[in-house]
Each structure stands twice: as structure tokens, then as C-alpha cells.
Amino acid sequence: MDRIRRNERMTAMMKLLSGTPNRIFTLNSFCEMFGSAKSTMSEDVDLLRQVAEQFDLGEVDTVTGAAGGVRYRPVVSRAGALATIRGLCEKLSGTERVLPGGFLYYSDILSTPEIVNRMGEIIATEYYRAEPDFVLTMETKGIPVAFATANALGVPLVIARHSSRVYEGSAVNINYVSGGGSIETMSLSRRAVKENQQALIVDDFLKGGGTARGMVELMREFNVTVVGMAFVMSTAEPEKKRISGEKALMTLKVTDGEPASAEVKPAAWLEEKPGA
Amino acid sequence: MDRIRRNERMTAMMKLLSGTPNRIFTLNSFCEMFGSAKSTMSEDVDLLRQVAEQFDLGEVDTVTGAAGGVRYRPVVSRAGALATIRGLCEKLSGTERVLPGGFLYYSDILSTPEIVNRMGEIIATEYYRAEPDFVLTMETKGIPVAFATANALGVPLVIARHSSRVYEGSAVNINYVSGGGSIETMSLSRRAVKENQQALIVDDFLKGGGTARGMVELMREFNVTVVGMAFVMSTAEPEKKRISGEKALMTLKVTDGEPASAEVKPAAWLEEKPGA
């Protein structure tokens, strides 16, 4: 075999690293793959880090210690996040997408992979430090963005259901008060999570916070800590939700009128400096 | 600014291409990004193609014509697909995952991003030629793998629901006969698809084929052509399904006994030569 060149090694490494975000690859595994010395691989990794930074493509990191190695995180800069969300807000605002009852049609946004992946990366960027063990969502509409977030964090997705199913084994059911004020059931398979894990809740829509509150209570039943909550869209009203500490990407206000119009804005935290 | 080196350009291009599969990037957009001549970029793309091939990382293609450019497809070799699926079959076979009623617990497989993405790539590999405009699934369990397939194909995901929701606007409802023999409803927002599009159906589980048949009929209501159907798991019994022409990744047979045991095998087509 010909000697593998640096540009070949770097290209292959970037594909492998960015294809499985937040997973640590040992330097040895790359040494074996390319038949290169460890010092050469270290230089390659340094260059990868610089390229990722230069072109705003996320972060390549070296993790030290026994389980150490190289990992890629699709970290999105605050400026990049704000630009993406502003674009979405523009697309969603106006009269065209308002449905009877003051609802907003944005199912298409929630299932276009390029948009969903980007939203997942923006959310993941906020929660790498919290180190969730899994992402929790409630069926149905938030599943793609919750999955994309889980992918960016390199952790599994866990889906709570409206009712327990025979093909998921024994389950924990809880009741919660939905947005409409009715009592609903939320169900999760016993096998889905382990005690003392950390959960990040991700969902598409936050209004009163009833469903989110239900998910928090469900996690309590499993002795799981909720380390964060993120939503694609949060309504301006009611201002006081049944949960707190959440991060939404956008806020929605539907104004009366003929026709009714939607005002969609980037959430306030996106306009702040990161870490502020 | 320093001149951007080949290894930097190639690394950045691979990240961008593989991050948005099946999307065509014009050579000009790369020329602008790196301040390079078109001839240089062509050489870079040739090298990218070779690297992808050498390390079995999918395909980098040049598309000619007015809308031409470079694209990446996460094409999985048949040997690679079979190795992945064999590994999953091993994990799922045995007594541990069999639930009362002869069901198999594999929700964890359906929501681990690394596994789900790989399954999506294996399915997409089979349907690039059919050129679907979107992937259709029925809530809930198949959504992650359907999303991963849509991502690999670079098309939107469309999710049919059990009942129409106010926040999805006017919808088309159809009735279908479920596996249990009862009449169920399937609903899809009118805005979700357009006439004369092509759909690829992706779902987690195929038994009698009632739900799949329902999706086919739903697409007929929208004047959409179904160009393929793919499932993660298909049961060995009943052998005759209410649909035909589908591709499953694995077949499941649960044998009686104390305890009952699951026999999970790669689907027959995976053992054949591609294109046979």
C-alpha cells in the first residue's frame, strides 16, 4: 500500500469524527487505521482543530486521561445560532402559517433534516457541559429535533408515550395536566432509563408547561435528574410556565386581526453573550 | 490571509459535504470559500472521491449539467451493511428481549443515534436511484430511523398521525385495518406533501402489513407515488403481507418455549449481490 498522505488522513478523520459527534476516538485507533506514528497523528489532530475553528465547523478536542482521545463536537457559535434562528423566524412570521385557533403550522420546519440537525446542534451546544446521559421527549412532533440533539450529544433518545404499549414491556405511567386542562397519561418503559442518570428534555412546543412538567415528574419516578429543558418554540403567553430554567429557540405571539398574524422572534438568551 | 492548504480545503469540504448528504454544492461556492481556482478545486474533489472510496466512507460524486456540482452520499457497501445488521441480530436474538405476548424489545436500538444513522444510510443506499421526494412514516417508533433515512437522502420527513391535530391544519384522514383487525384512522396534514411527488415509506416494524397498506392508500389520496418501502424488522409469520416489494433489514421469529426465544436474522436480500 502507498503511504497515506496527510490530506487523506485528515479528510477521513474529519468524516469519522463528525459522523459520530462527541464520541472519543483513541489516537491508537487512528494510528492503526493509517499506519502512522503517534506523533504524526498528533500533528494531524492539531491541524484538524485549526481547520474546524477557521471555517466555523464545530470543535475538535483532545481529551486526556485513561479514556482519552480525540472527539468532535458540532458546537455552534452564538452568532451562527442567532443567524440561523433569525432566518427561521422570518420564514415563520406573518399571516400565511396561522391556523384556525391561533396555532402555527411549522411541522415542515420540524422535519427538514438540514434545519432539524442545525437546531439539534444549537441545543446541544448549550448542554455539553451538563453531560446528559440521554435526551427525553414526548411523542410525536418533537422526536426529530430531540433525535438530532441526542445525535449531537452522542447519547440515546428516550421517547415517552401517551399510553403504554405491549411491545415495550412493563412501564411507569404518570398522570399530568395538559394544556387544555384535562388529565392525560404519560408512559415510559422501565427498560428505557437507569436510576441516577441525567436527562435533557427536548420538545417542539412550550405553552403552559403541563407536558414538560409531566416529563419532569416522570423522571422523578425513575430517580433521574433533569439537567436541562429545551424547546423549539415557546409561546409569549402565558408568560409564567409550569416549569422554569428552560431554553427555547423562538418565541411565538399570534396577534388578533383579519387575518391573524404570527410574530416569531429569537428567544432572548440567544441575543446575550454565551455563558452570560 | 494565508493561502489555504489542500489538506485544510479537503477537510472542510468533507465536513460540509458529509454533513448535508445528497445536497449538491457548486464548485464555485467552494472556489469562493477558499479563494482557489476551479482547476484546483477539481483536483481536490478527485482526491476526496478517492479517500471516500479507499476508507469505505461513502461516495463523493461530481454531478454535471446546469445544476451540477459535488455531492456526498453515505452509500454503504453490501458487505458493510451485512456486517452491521449481523451485529444487531446477535444483540437482539435470544431470550432476554422477549416480552409477554411474543413481542421483542428493541426500542433502544431504534433510538441510539449511531445505530439509527447507520440503518438510515443502509436504507438510503437502496433508494437513491428511486429519487424519493420525501420519506413517510407513521408515528411513533419508526420516526428516528425514518428521519435518519430522510437525512441520508437529503429530503424531508413526513409523519402520519393517528388522528388529526388542530395545529397541523386541514388534513386527509383514511381508515385502515390494523394488525389486530380493528379499524384505525391515519391522518396527514394537507400541507405536508404535494401532488405528483414520490414517497419512500420507512417504518420500524412489519407484521401483517395493515399499517403499511394504510400509508400506501393515504399516498393515493394525495396523488403521490410510493417508490419503495423499508422496515427495520419484519416478522417471519405471516409470510404473506398485505404489501409487497418491501425491504426489511431483519426478520424476526419468536419460538415457543419456557422461556420464549427470539431468532433475528438479516433479511435475505442483504445476503445477495447488490443490484441482483
Record: contact B154-A8, CB cut-off 8 A? no
In a domain, B12, yes or no: yes
For residue range B110-136, what is the model confidence (pLDDT) as tens digits?
Answer: 999 999 999 999 999 999 999 999 999
For residue range A112-153, what is the model confidence (pLDDT) as tens digits?
Answer: 999 999 999 999 999 999 999 999 999 999 999 999 999 999
Q: How far apart are CA A258 and CA A217, in angstroms?
A: 41
Whether residue A234 sits in one domain with residue A104: yes
Please, which pLDDT band fits residue A166 given cuts at 50, 70 and 90? low
Record: contact A12-B55, CB cut-off 8 A? yes
Q: CA angle B271-B116-B93, nearest 5°?
A: 55
In a domain, B276, yes or no: no
Please, which pLDDT band fits residue A1 given cuts at 50, 70 and 90? very low
**Residues of the domain holding B21:** 6-73
* φ/ψ of residue B99, rounded to 5: -100, 165
Overall pTM > 0.95: yes
Please state the rounded mean pLDDT for residues A186-191: 94
Record: contact A192-B100, CB cut-off 8 A? no
What is the enclosing helix (H) or strand (E) of A85?
Answer: helix A78-92
3-class DSSP state for residue A160? strand
Query: Which is it for strands B59-63 and B69-73: parallel, antiparallel or unpaired?
Result: antiparallel
Whether residue B49 sits in one domain with residue B114: no
In a domain, B141, yes or no: yes
Record: contact A19-B18, CB cut-off 8 A? yes
pLDDT of A271 higher than 70? yes
In a domain, A276, yes or no: no
Chain B 227-266, residues with CB within 8 Å of chain A CB atoms: none
Whether residue B161 sits in one domain with residue B32: no
Whether residue A82 sits in one domain with residue A175: yes
Whether residue A183 sits in one domain with residue A57: no
- Which of B39, B73, B107 finishes a domain? B73
The complex's ipTM?
0.96
Average pLDDT of chain A, as a whole number: 94
In a domain, B62, yes or no: yes
Burial of A182 (0-12, 13-18, 19+ CB in 10 A): exposed
- Which of B24, B58, B73 finishes a domain? B73
A12-26, B91-105, B244-258 — most confident range: A12-26
Whether residue B125 sits in one domain with residue B34: no
Whether residue A88 sits in one domain with residue A69: no
CATH code of A30's domain:
1.10.10.10
CATH code of A241's domain:
3.40.50.2020
In a domain, B200, yes or no: yes
For residue range B156-191, what is the model confidence (pLDDT) as tens digits?
Answer: 999 999 887 766 788 999 999 987 788 999 999 999
In a domain, B89, yes or no: yes
Whether residue A184 sits in one domain with residue A157: yes
Whether residue A90 sits in one domain with residue A53: no
Q: Is residue B77 within 8 angstroms of chain A, CB to CB?
A: no
Whether residue B153 sits in one domain with residue B65: no
Please state the rounded mean pLDDT for residues B131-153: 97
Q: Which residues of chain A neighbour B8 with C-beta distances below 8 Å?
A: 47, 50-51, 54
% of chain B with per-residue pLDDT over 90: 87
- Mutation site for B-interface testing, chosen from A2, A8, A15 by largest number of B Cβ within 10 Å: A15
pLDDT of B56 higher than 50? yes
The number of folded domains in chain B is 2
- Mutation site for B-interface testing, chosen from A2, A111, A189, A200 by largest number of B Cβ within 10 Å: A111
pLDDT of B2: 62
* φ/ψ of residue A16, rounded to 5: -65, -45
Whether residue B227 sits in one domain with residue B197: yes
In a domain, A134, yes or no: yes
Whether residue B128 sits in one domain with residue B257: yes
- Which of A28, A58, A73 finishes a domain? A73
pLDDT of A275: 64
Q: How far apart are CA A226 and CA A55, in angstroms?
A: 34
Record: contact A151-B112, CB cut-off 8 A? no
